[in-house]
Structure 1
Amino acid sequence: MTETTGRASTLRVSRVVEETADARSLVFDVPDAERERFRYRPGQFLTLRIPSERTGSVARCYSLASSPDQDEQLAVTVKRTADGYGSNWLCENAVPGMEITVLPPGGVFTPKDLGADLLLFAGGSGITPIISIVKSALARGSGKIVLIYANRDESSVIFAGELAALAAKHPRRLTVIHWLESVQGLPARGHLQALATPYTGYDAFICGPGPFMAAVTDALSTAGMPKSRVHVEVFTSLSGDPFAEPVPTPEDTEAAGGDTVPVEVEVNGETHTLDWPATVPLVDFLLSKGIDAPYSCRDGECGSCQATLLKGRVTMLHNEVLGEDEIAEGYFLGCQAVPEPGTDPLKIEF
């Protein structure tokens, strides 16, 4: 059973799987009526509402470990962290039958081409979006996949059995390289560069602790991999409440006054031609017109509202998601974008 309120749905946990001593997977039932709403791409995440005695609730993003191409149910994997209120609460309290409020999938950490050759780096629980990509690429693509997976020790390896089974089933396509700190020490840049050098023509995806991702990014740069091929997943603690429904009214946007810019926006396959107020963020403006633009945090922190600029220029007020190369390719965050002064008429696609 699900209850839908605004953009949020209440999903029932069907199973809780103990992956390691400090990691759990939560498997959700999604009724047929909600299937389209929870359609997702490999590498995306769900935002969960978690009870809090201090604030009523907190919002936390957890990557989907399930694959839209191989798994019937949705699953997120949560690993305890020393100061992680949300992860610790879920690991201690989540049980089958529990209902959790969830936002639809979001995020931009997903390959544009699942048929490409992929070089994947995961550190600890960073394996979660990576295994989703692995399973979908094996199901839909034909390229080579190399996964370099770093952990503290053998007992910390999440999905160890599943990865071994996938590698055995696809020996010509999937190579899994484990790096254990207890055996090999911390993976330094030189080690990572040596592992990556044979695959600099691949597309790289990196997820894990900050120092690990920084070391991998540095190693790939030194190895000569172009920045355009390197994709890093970065989660930040959401500063606002993405479950709130503060939808601006037409009066709000009209009251902003000032100049407008003609814009043609494609959302969910439908094209809308509008006059966009120059001081109003795009997502706010579209919502005020009754257009169901995608968004989650509305603070420039999650990437759910990523859009493509086909014509014209925009300015982002805040951005913690997109890199310089992605911006150069025309991507921007709709919740933070306003028209740039003097721009030509805009053409945008969500």
Structure 2
Amino acid sequence: MSISFEPPLRKAPISIFPFLFLRLQSISKLKTSTPHPTILPPNSTMIEKTENRLDLPISVIYRDEEWFVIDKPYDCKIQNYPNSTEATVESILKQQFPEVSKFRNVHQLDYATSGVFVLALNKKAAAEASKLFRERLVKKTYIALVNGHLSDNSYFVDKPIAEDPNHAFRMRIDEEGKPAQTNIEVLERGYYTFKEVQTGQQKSIPATKVKLSPISGRRHQLRLHLKHIGHPIIGDYNYEDIYTDTFRMMLHAYQITLPLLEKDKEKALTITATDPFIHLLSTADIKFPEMDVTFAGEVQFKRAIKYIIVDYICKAVEKS
């Protein structure tokens, strides 16, 4: 059984032609003096309108007699805490669905992370889901916007994770920690334009949209593994070296698959959320810097030749 409301995520181009198209498109826009459309996250005016966004109903992606799957808002806790009036997933759902006697948590999402969040509606479903998560049989896919342009289109990070003794909240890469593996796939490269929350100053930074498939499930695993390869998540206050003061951390739980059993037969339940980052990258201004030709390997050589050809053609067009 598969429930999906989104087309397949786009993959990064691997041939010369998409790169050439983007460069020629950029030149064409410059020649006609037509600025590319700038997609801004909530600026100071929009923030005033969205300060009470947690007063809005939570989007329900899927619901049946056993499962209740939502699109969790970013910057929102899962559970209520004593003496706290802060809106949480639990408090919002209780108000929105008073007919549901109890929502049972079967996994967690970080406070700042949005996206697919699964709740069970009875003890049987909760026990089944908890077992699947405990045995690491659940397949999870995330998307994120990260700093900079990744040089390759795919990565496999195998770095153990442990608590950071110098910080109560953070984790760290530690060879003595628990094993952690993540597959990373580039979906799109571009520029992220935003207004700083504190200063209102408009900035534009190189960014890459990636698909993340964690094999293990350590705390802050995706955030740490992206930082480890030199491309931390945009808006990640704890792991960016230079914090990007934008409206949220750009990490989203995009899809989850539960290999459920029904009458001793496996029935995969796949739930897909919407992509909140779909319009946040502009590709019109991507520049391809000159590269030194190095003979360290065939891949590096081919990549250098590709960029040289693109640069040569685009310079010829610029002169015409």
Higher strand share: 1
Higher relative contact order (CA 8 A, sep 6+): 2
Larger radius of gyration: 2
Query: TM-score normalised to the size of structure 2?
Result: 0.22
Query: TM-score normalised to the size of structure 1?
Result: 0.21
